Structure formats: C-alpha cells, structure tokens
C-alpha cells in the first residue's frame, strides 16, 4: 500500500467528519494525523469550521408566514367566486341585500303595475260628477264582464249606467205602445237634408258626434274585444252590413254591446235623452238575424218578452225608420228556444252564424216589416 | 426516521384528499426549513420569504404529480433549491455581504457584552462566508451542514451524482475554512 500524501489525507477530511470512511481509510487517516506535523492543525481547523457552520442559529420564517401562504393559495373556482361576491362582508353583503330588495320590488311593481297600466290606457274615463248617488260603485271591467256572462241581467243591474245600454227609462218607454219612442227622433242637426230616418241622416248624425263619444265608443269596443278574444279575433272579419240594413253602423263607430263602463259622458247622455239613434255594434255579436214580422214596435215587444223569459236581456237598441235593430244577449242554452220563438213571431232569417259562440249568445236582430 | 416517514405518508394522504388543514400542517411543519435554505442561498429575508412562499404554492399545485417516493421534506427542498438557483441565475448579483449578515453585524456593533459581540460577529462572518461560496457549492453545504440531509438526499434534491455531491461539499468546506480563518484555532 502506497503512502498517502498530506493532500490525499486532507481530501478525506469531509468524509471523516460525515463518518463515511471505510475502516481502512479511517485507519490510514488516523495514522497520518499521528505522524504529520501540519495535517493535525489543518484537521482541527477544518473540523472547527464545519462545527461553526453547523452551529449556526436556524433561520426562522417571520410570524404570519403561514397565513400569507394560505391566503395566497389558489382556491377552488367556487370559493373564488364566493369570495369575490361576498368579501368584504361588511361592504358587499349590505349592497347585495339592497340590490336584491330593489330588484324584487321592481319586479313586483312591474308585474302588478302592467295590467293596471294597460287597463288605464284603455279606459281613462272617470265617472262624472253627476252620477246618481244610488248607483253602485264601479266594478272592475273583468269582474263585471264575467258577472254578465254568468248571470242574467236584471233591471236592478248597473247596466243602466252604461253608455250604450238601454237606460231604465228607455226600457220603460220601450215597453209602451207608442211607436214614437221606439223610433228615433231626427238628429239635432243644422242641415235640413234628407229625412231623419234615412240611412244618410243616420250616417251624418254619427259623423257629427263629439270626439268624446267616439273616443268612448272605441274604448268600449276595444274593451269588448279584450274581454272576448274569440270575438275580437273574428270581429274584423265580420261581413259588412248589407245595404238593406241601414242601421248597421260602420265598424269604427260601433257601440259596445255588453261591456259596462262608467256612467255615460254628458254628450252621450244628451244623445240618449234626445232619442237620437244609438249605434249598435256588430263586432261583438255572434249571430246576425232579420225578423220580418209586421209592425216593428209590436214585434219588438214580443222579442223583449221572449228574451226576458229566456233569461236574456236587450243589450242595446237602435231605430232606423221602419226598422229597429236590437242587440240581444241570450244564455247559450236558451238560444235555441229563443230562436224558435223568433221563428214563431215571423219570418226569421239568420244572416250570419258564427261558429265560436259565446255564452251568452250575442244576437244582432233587425226587425223589419 | 420511520416515524417521520409515517407522518409524511399520513400528511400526504390528507393533502391528496384535498384536506385544507393538511396543507396548513405542511406549511407549518416545513416553513422554517424551506425559508432557511432560501435565506442562506439568497441572503435576503424578503427574497427568502418570497421563494419560500412560492415553494409551498408550487407544491400545492403539484401535489397530484408527487409520487410519494421521496419524503415530503426532500421534495420541498428540491423545489426551493431549484427556485433559488433559478433566481440567482436570472439576475447578476453582487458578491457583497448579505442583508442578513449586515443585520447581524449591525446587531453586533450595538451589543454591549463582549461574548455577545463576538457571537454576532461570528454569525455575520458565517453568513458572509456562505454567501461568498459559488452557488453550486453553497446549496450543497446548506443542505448538508445546515439542513442535515445526508449525501443521498442531497444528491436526490439536486439531481446530482453522489460523488459530485461529495466533491462539491468538500470544496465548499475548504472555502469556508479559509474564510473563517480568524475564528479557527
């Protein structure tokens, strides 16, 4: 075995400190250190320097390091989302609660307010101050419509307040034999044109109605259509009145049938009191019929009796010369009975029978000689 | 050692199960060791905390890839060592005394007692001596003499052959002996 130099021996110092030398290497190192003059001092210095390094005070992370690491740790997406939505709690929670309340309130207002707004746009008419004190309070249109469809009309019903429905006094007059009440008086027109009972006069008188009356007419017509979608859908397609039915008015001037509104406007009441012919709508009628039965006044009374017995009612009336046009509302289950009664009164001709009848059946009946 | 391995296995199982407190346990357990490596390598507490935090965050992201063949501590040391060496390689650094050594030296100057003064000066000298080592030697001596890893673990952490670890460690110790001549017999 060749002798180790001091350089070779000093290369073993680290292994000697770490105790990784073989027994043979350690023996040779120890033998050299026992005989060499320089190497023992080098060994002591080496051993001491390693001891100094190993004796260094351990480094310590500053306080809060763990929390900082945990805070910087990426979180699952749902936690990140929740954190972004909710943190800081004192700020975001009140804001979000206020936003939820605001949105909920707006939603409730919109949901509740929309029908009212639409209704208000349709029927801006307010009851006049001259409304009779005994009159019952206004009933919502939809409720009144349903009530009319399910229950026969009675004389005490609020229909008397309706613009184009027969007022109580008119009904009484209609039951009298005097044909002058049944017939329409000439319109209060300044032009001395054709006779009052002619179709032309009727058309002119309609044209001279006030804007308020026309507005009310359109509003009521729209309300009728809204209340009866089936009828409203078919109304524009209804055949125009024939030339032989001069009392049948143009569609835009048609009066409502059953839709009750507030009390009549002053202009409309004036027209009623003057006996001016009122227009009868064909838009809401399911059936248009003609009855030729001699004297219209007599047949009208008979028709009234017939309808009343059947639980129906006369919705409106218009006179036109020798003819009268009645708008009837008859319960659907009694319509056949009424139809047979009308046939017994004279020659009945059904001009138009719509398939989508409502209950009650609405009949536009023209009485002719 | 066997108990430590058992603890590591249990902690690793909890970490893989997504147990939040397990990660806190991991950070709490290894924070000073990881921070110590970074501080000895970089010489700055701020940089060391930055590297140590990044070490744990990378470990958190890579938990799924950790096969568990190495100890958790060895794995964390490997991440921290790579981050430190990359940081040192990314920017030229002045071979001056470290921030930590400056702090220790300032403390020594303000100390009253002679023994404390000498102790603080020695600590500053040690920091300076370590900071002056070449990086590849510094990391070896830090892992071996300061963190107490054995040769095999150092080789595993650094991905080096065992003989390379031995050689670098011995050279580093010789360098330190030369730097610390004043404090040696």
pLDDT tens digits for range B61-74: 888 788 777 888 99
User: For chain A, how far is it from start to end, CA to CA, in angstroms?
Assistant: 155
pLDDT at A107 over 80: yes
Nearest to A68 by CA among B12, B76, B46, B39: B46
Higher pLDDT, A64 or A218: A64
Higher pLDDT, A55 or A123: A55
pLDDT at A164 over 70: no
User: For chain B, how far is it from start to end, CA to CA, in angstroms?
Assistant: 36
Question: Which candidate from A11, A58, A62 shows the least CB-CB separation from B170?
Answer: A11
Higher pLDDT, A103 or A187: A103
Q: Of A46-50, A144-148, B1-5, B58-62, which range is least confident?
A: A144-148
Nearest to B156 by CA among B173, B170, B144: B144
What count of other Cβ atoms lies within 10 Å of the Cβ of residue A184? 24
pLDDT band at A120 (very low <50, low <70, confident <90, very high): low
For B150, name the nearest residue in chain A, comparing CA atoms only.
Answer: A18
pLDDT at A133 over 60: no
Shortest Cα distance from B159 to chain A (angstroms)? Answer: 20
pLDDT 10s digits, A310-365: 888 888 888 766 778 888 888 888 888 888 888 888 888 887 665 556 788 888 88
- pLDDT value of position A169: 41
How would you label A34-57 residue by residue, b for 16+ Cβ within 10 Å and e otherwise?
A: eebeebeebbebbbebbebbeebe
- pLDDT value of position A208: 47
Q: Which of A7, A14, A51 to mutate to test the interface with B (most CBs of B within 10 A)?
A: A14
Any residues with CB less than 8 A from the CB of A61 and at least 6 apart, and which? B31, B32, B34, B35, B49, B52
List Cα–Cα distances, A138 to A127, A161, A262, in angstroms.
Answer: 8, 10, 7
**Chain B partners within 8 Å of A73 (Cβ):** 23, 56-57, 60
- pLDDT value of position A284: 61
pLDDT band at B108 (very low <50, low <70, confident <90, very high): low
Whether B176 contacts chain A with CB within 8 A: yes
For A73, name the nearest residue in chain B, comparing CA atoms only.
Answer: B57
What is the spatial distance between Cα A120 and Cα A140, in angstroms, rounded to a whole number?
Answer: 11
The winner for highest mean pLDDT among A100-114, A157-171, A174-188, B130-144 is B130-144
- pLDDT value of position A266: 44
Mean pLDDT on B55-59: 94
DSSP-derived letter for residue B148 is -
Interface of A with B (CB under 8 A): 11, 13-15, 17-18, 20, 41, 44-46, 48-50, 52-54, 56-62, 65-66, 68-70, 72-74
Mean pLDDT on B105-133: 81
Q: Which two tokens stand for residue A141?
A: 């249109």
- pLDDT value of position A150: 45
Whether B60 contacts chain A with CB within 8 A: yes
For B55, name the nearest residue in chain A, comparing CA atoms only.
Answer: A69
- pLDDT value of position A349: 85
- pLDDT value of position A173: 46
Whether B89 contacts chain A with CB within 8 A: no
Higher pLDDT, A20 or A121: A20
Angle at A19 between CA A15 and CA A22, to 5 degrees: 80
Contact call for residues A306 and A313 (beta carbons, < 8 A) = no
For B174, name the nearest residue in chain A, comparing CA atoms only.
Answer: A46
Contact call for residues A69 and B76 (beta carbons, < 8 A) = no
Nearest to A328 by CA among A317, A338, A339, A314: A314
pLDDT at A247 over 60: no
* Biggest CA-to-CA distance, chain A: 160
List Cα–Cα distances, A232 to A104, A139, A164, A235, A237, in angstroms.
Answer: 35, 22, 19, 5, 9
Mean pLDDT on B40-58: 94
Question: Which candidate from A17, A18, A59 shows the least CB-CB separation from B35?
Answer: A59
- pLDDT value of position B92: 66
- pLDDT value of position A352: 61
- A347-353 and A313-320 beta bridge pairing: unpaired
Q: What percent of chain B has pLDDT over 90?
A: 58
Rg (CA), chain B: 18
**Full DSSP string of B39-106:** HHHH--HHHHHHHHHHHHHHHHHTGGG--SSS-HHHHHHHHHHHHHHHHHHHS----S--HHHHHHHH
- pLDDT value of position B27: 93
- pLDDT value of position A8: 92
Q: Which of A66, A67, A72, A76 to mutate to test the interface with B (most CBs of B within 10 A)?
A: A66
Question: Which candidate from A14, A15, A56 shows the least CB-CB separation from B146?
Answer: A56
| φ and ψ of A277, to 5 deg | -60, 135
**Chain A partners within 8 Å of B28 (Cβ):** 66
Q: What percent of chain B has pLDDT over 70?
A: 84
For A51, name the nearest residue in chain B, comparing CA atoms only.
Answer: B145
Q: Report helix angle B114-132 to B162-179, nearest 10.
A: 140
Q: Report helix angle A211-227 to A89-122, nearest 10.
A: 120
How would you label B53-79 residue by residue, b for 16+ Cβ within 10 Å and e otherwise?
A: bbbbbebbeebeeeeeebbbbbbbbbb
Higher pLDDT, A42 or A229: A42
Mean pLDDT on A58-72: 91
Question: Which candidate from A44, A50, A65 shows the least CB-CB separation from B145?
Answer: A50
Mean pLDDT, rounded, of chain A = 66
pLDDT at A235 over 80: no
- pLDDT value of position A1: 56
Whether B39 contacts chain A with CB within 8 A: yes
- pLDDT value of position B21: 85
Nearest to A279 by CA among A184, A180, A189: A184
- pLDDT value of position A323: 76
- pLDDT value of position B109: 63
Whether B155 contacts chain A with CB within 8 A: no
Mean pLDDT on A206-214: 46
| H or E, element range at A368 | strand A361-368
Higher pLDDT, A301 or A54: A54
Q: Which residue has the tokens 């963190």?
A: B147
- pLDDT value of position A123: 56
Contact call for residues A246 and A320 (beta carbons, < 8 A) = yes
Question: Which candidate from B23, B40, B176 shows the least CB-CB separation from A49?
Answer: B176
- pLDDT value of position A103: 93
């Amino acid at each position: 075995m060749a002798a180790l130099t001091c350089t070779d021996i000093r290369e073993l110092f680290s292994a000697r400190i770490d105790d990784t030398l073989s027994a043979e290497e350690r023996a040779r190192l120890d033998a050299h250190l026992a005989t060499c003059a320089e190497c023992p001092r080098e060994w002591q210095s080496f051993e001491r320097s390693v001891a100094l390094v190993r004796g260094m005070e351990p480094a310590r992370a500053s306080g809060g390091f763990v929390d900082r690491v945990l805070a910087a740790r990426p979180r699952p997406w749902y936690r990140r989302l929740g954190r972004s939505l909710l943190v800081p709690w004192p700020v975001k929670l009140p804001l979000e609660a206020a936003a939820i309340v605001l949105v909920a309130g707006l939603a409730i207002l919109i949901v509740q307010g929309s029908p009212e707004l639409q209704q208000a746009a349709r029927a801006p008419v307010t009851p006049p101050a001259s409304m009779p004190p005994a009159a019952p309070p206004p009933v919502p249109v939809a409720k009144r419509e349903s009530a009319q469809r399910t229950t026969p009309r009675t004389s005490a019903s609020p229909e008397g307040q309706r613009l184009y429905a027969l007022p109580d006094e008119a009904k009484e007059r209609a039951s009298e034999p005097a044909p002058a009440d049944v017939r329409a008086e000439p319109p209060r027109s300044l032009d001395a044109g054709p006779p009052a009972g002619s179709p032309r006069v009727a058309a002119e008188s309609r044209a001279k109605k006030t804007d308020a009356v026309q507005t009310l007419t359109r509003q009521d017509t729209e309300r009728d259509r809204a209340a009866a979608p089936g009828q409203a859908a078919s109304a524009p397609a209804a055949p125009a009145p024939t030339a032989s039915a001069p009392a049948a008015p143009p569609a835009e001037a048609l009066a409502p049938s059953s839709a009750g509104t507030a009390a009549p406007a002053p202009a409309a009441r004036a027209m009623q009191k003057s006996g001016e012919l009122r227009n009868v709508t064909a838009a809401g009628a399911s059936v248009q019929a003609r009855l030729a039965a001699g004297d219209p006044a007599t047949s009208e009374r008979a028709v009234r009796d017939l309808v009343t017995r059947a639980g129906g009612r006369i919705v409106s009336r218009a006179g036109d010369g020798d003819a009268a046009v009645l708008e009837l509302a008859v319960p659907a289950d009694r319509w056949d009975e009424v139809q047979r009664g009308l046939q017994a009164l004279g020659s009945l001709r059904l001009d138009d029978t719509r398939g989508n009848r409502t209950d009650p059946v609405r009949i536009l009946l023209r009485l002719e000689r | 050692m066997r108990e430590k391995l058992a603890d590591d296995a249990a902690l690793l199982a909890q970490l893989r199960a997504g147990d939040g407190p397990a990660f806190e346990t991991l950070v709490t357990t290894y924070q000073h060791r990881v921070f110590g490596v970074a501080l000895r390598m970089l010489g700055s507490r701020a940089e060391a905390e930055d590297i140590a935090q990044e070490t744990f965050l990378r470990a958190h992201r890579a938990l799924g890839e950790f096969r568990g063949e190495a100890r958790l501590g060895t794995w964390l040391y490997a991440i921290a060592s790579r981050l430190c060496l990359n940081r040192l390689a990314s920017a030229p650094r002045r071979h001056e005394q470290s921030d930590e050594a400056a702090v220790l030296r300032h403390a020594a100057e303000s100390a009253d007692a002679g023994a404390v003064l000498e102790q603080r000066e020695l600590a500053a000298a040690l920091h300076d001596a370590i900071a002056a080592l070449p990086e590849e030697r510094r990391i070896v001596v830090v892992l071996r003499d300061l963190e107490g890893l054995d040769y095999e673990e150092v080789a595993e952490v650094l991905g080096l052959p065992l003989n390379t670890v031995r050689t670098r460690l011995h050279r580093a110790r010789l360098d330190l002996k030369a730097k610390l001549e004043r404090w040696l017999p």
